[in-house]
Amino acid sequence: MTPKEIHLLLVEDNEGDIVLTQEALDEGKIKNTISVVRDGWEAIQYLEKKEGYEDAREPDLILLDINLPKMNGHKVLKHIKNHDGLKHIPVIMLTTSSDETDIIKSYKNHSNCYITKPVDINSFIEVISTIENFWISIVQLPPKTN
């Protein structure tokens, strides 16, 4: 079986979490590329290929934080899942919040998965590796629409 190349969109404003996520994915077994946007509004522009993102690649998977500047992750998720051209893209909520309200709201807005980020660096890297192993190696992702 030929390894597939996966394109991830990481929507995260914390520079430390961005670096850790990139490093964990770089160490993985799967060839991947990562695009990073640092706020909710930028995520929408990226996904809709507007305002400097006209040539952006459609991601195979989105890792979305809740606590974002300009537009929070719940609003971004709701926008994605209500948009005919985007709703097929799996979205993993990857956030520091373990608040039950955030979890319920995420699933009501059709998040594919909700993961609370561990504070410990090694545990965080392990979580990213687990995401890669499951969502990239095991799960059959939908085909690209563009």
Q: Residue 146: which pLDDT band, with cuts at 50, 70 and 90?
A: low
Tens of pLDDT, residues 59-115 = 989 999 999 999 999 999 999 999 999 999 999 999 888 899 999 999 999 999 999
Tens of pLDDT, residues 127-141 = 887 887 787 777 777
**Tally of structural domains, the chain:** 1
Indicate whether 145 belongs to any domain: no
The pTM of this model reads: 0.88
Domain CATH number, residue 129: 3.40.50.2300
Indicate whether 146 belongs to any domain: no
Domain around 32: 6-138
Output 76-84 pairs: Cβ under 8 A, ≥24 positions apart. 76/11, 76/40, 76/43, 76/44, 77/106, 77/109, 77/110, 77/111, 78/109, 79/44, 80/47, 81/109, 81/110, 83/47, 83/48
